[in-house]
Amino acid sequence: MNAEHKNAFMKAIEEIGDDHLTSNAETPLRADAFDMSEEAKVEAIEYHFEKIMDTLGLDLTDDSLKGTPRRVAKMFVQEIFGGLDPAKEPKASTFENKYQYGEMLVEKNIVVYSTCEHHFLPIVGRAHVAYISNGRVIGLSKMNRIVDYFAKRPQVQERMTKQIVQAMQKALGTKDVACVIDAKHLCVNSRGIRDIESSTVTAEFGGSFKKDSVKRDFLDYINMKTTFDA
């Protein structure tokens, strides 16, 4: 991250404020969302996506296209929207903080692949998650899995940021959790205004992270150059 990007990043964080994220943190799902089996969903989406392709005038007898409706249906249900299924929520086991580590723990640069629920185009970016233990700790990979779980659904970035923090708070039994996401939205980058340079920054600060000094430490950790940075 160069100096110009870093300054813009820090300014964006400061301008967001604690009251920026006011949308409902629950993904809007119908009560019968899981009455249909996974295979039945694949078959239904396959049928409807074939109709979309046919409407666009594509030749579905072509070897390159004839399997596309099935591939897209399986991708939607089993992969990129797998986070809609509560049965797939990662088991966020925690452990006693036996080594008495009392500072914040930061897992930064977690890759985010999500989908904008407004245009069903990709959201691609990085999440930075931190917490301060109140006696329990969580496995590092579980933090990545929590991010991935909430990313794998049609999303609004603000909501995803809140969902990640709330899941971590619930698992750890503490409010002292924070998350910042910096991501590109292809609905902005590849269509409409087609601004390929802009990105969207969202943040959610809980508990101690609302204090300016703790928030600043977290942001400093995010911007710290590591051995593996390019």
Q: Which is catalytic among the residues 46, 50, 163, 187?
A: 187
Tell me whether residue 157 is one of the annotated catalytic residues.
yes
Of 201, 41, 40, which Cα lies nearest the Cα of 128? 201
Average pLDDT over the chain, rounded to an integer: 91
Q: Which is catalytic among the residues 158, 179, 185, 204?
A: 185
Tell me whether residue 107 is one of the annotated catalytic residues.
no
Tell me whether residue 185 is one of the annotated catalytic residues.
yes
Can you tell me whether residue 48 is helix, strand or coil?
Answer: helix
Q: Residue 126: phi, psi to the nearest 5?
A: -135, 140
pLDDT tens by residue, 210-222: 999 999 999 999 9
Tell me whether residue 118 is one of the annotated catalytic residues.
yes
Neighbour-count burial of 82, counting CB atoms closer than 10 A to its CB (0-12 exposed, 13-18 middle, 19+ buried): middle
Give the residue extent of every domain in the chain. 3-17+93-223, 38-84
Q: Which is catalytic among the residues 43, 117, 166, 169?
A: 117
pLDDT tens by residue, 125-177: 999 999 999 999 999 999 999 999 999 999 999 999 999 999 999 999 999 99
Q: Which is catalytic among the residues 116, 158, 179, 204?
A: 116
Between 3.90.1150.10, 3.40.50.10420, 1.10.286.10, 2.40.160.60, what CATH number should domain 38-84 receive? 1.10.286.10
Q: Which is catalytic among the residues 50, 128, 155, 157?
A: 157
- Cα–Cα distances (Å) from 147 to 47, 77, 102, 144, in that order, read 31, 18, 23, 5
This prediction has a pTM of 0.88
- What CATH number is given for 3-17+93-223 in this structure? 3.30.1130.10
